[in-house]
């Protein structure tokens, strides 16, 4: 039997497997999975925003360019999925996911500034009230997804439980 257990490192319900469950690690893993699934939904929301902004009326070239613009937003979803599968092996994907989500959030806030500066232009481009509301909902959902994906990387706790004794440290004595 391998040191990781009979299931190759996955959690087993076999009582003879001898492994203990790490609930805090499972909670962290579930956050990565949730962030990955939400990140997979983000390109569809971005497409909704672009179509509502009138990008689909520009022809086939605009739609192919939209696919080009949406593709990088799959990167954090894929990174978070790999981190969910094996955090230790794929820990180097964390800065990439942070960079893409942080850049996306910054760009969305700059876009909000543009929309609030001239809301009539959005109303004229969108065409209907339903289209405007769908754009605002998609924009808000995209911002919330980016905030959630960034919050996943915030460490919860310092590794020492409250009430646990502090580790003793001994300083070497200097000779005079």
Euclidean distance between CA atoms 140 and 105, whole angstroms? 11
**Would residue 54 be called left, alpha or beta, if left means φ above 0 and alpha means ψ between -120 and 50 degrees?**
left
Listed range (15-24, 49-58, 109-118, 161-170) with the worst mean pLDDT = 15-24
Q: Could you say which DSSP state residue 78 is in?
A: H
Average pLDDT over residues 159-163: 51
Q: Per-residue pLDDT for 163 more than 90?
A: no
What would the pLDDT profile of 74-130 be if each residue is shown by its tens digit? 899 999 999 999 989 999 999 999 999 999 899 888 877 777 777 777 677 667 777
Question: Between residues 129 and 11, which one has the greater pLDDT?
Answer: 129
Taking the model in full, what pTM does it have? 0.65
Residue 150 CA to residue 10 CA, distance in Å, equals 26
Question: Both tokens of residue 47?
Answer: 């497409």
């Amino acid at each position: 039997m391998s040191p990781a257990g009979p299931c190759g490192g996955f959690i087993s319900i076999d009582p003879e497997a001898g492994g203990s469950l790490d609930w805090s690690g499972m909670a962290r893993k579930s956050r990565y999975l949730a962030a990955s699934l939400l990140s997979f939904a983000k390109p569809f929301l971005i497409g909704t925003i672009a179509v509502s902004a009138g990008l689909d009326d520009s022809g086939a070239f605009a739609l192919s360019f939209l696919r080009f613009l949406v593709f990088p937003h799959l990167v954090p979803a894929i990174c978070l999925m790999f981190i969910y599968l094996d955090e230790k092996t794929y820990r180097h994907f964390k800065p990439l996911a942070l960079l893409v989500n942080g850049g996306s959030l910054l760009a969305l806030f700059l876009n909000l500034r543009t929309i609030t500066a001239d809301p009539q232009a959005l109303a004229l481009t969108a065409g209907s009230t339903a289209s405007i509301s769908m754009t605002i909902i998609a924009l808000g959902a995209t911002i919330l997804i980016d905030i959630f994906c960034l919050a996943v990387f915030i460490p919860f706790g310092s590794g020492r439980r409250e009430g646990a004794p502090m580790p003793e440290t001994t300083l070497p004595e200097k000779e005079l």
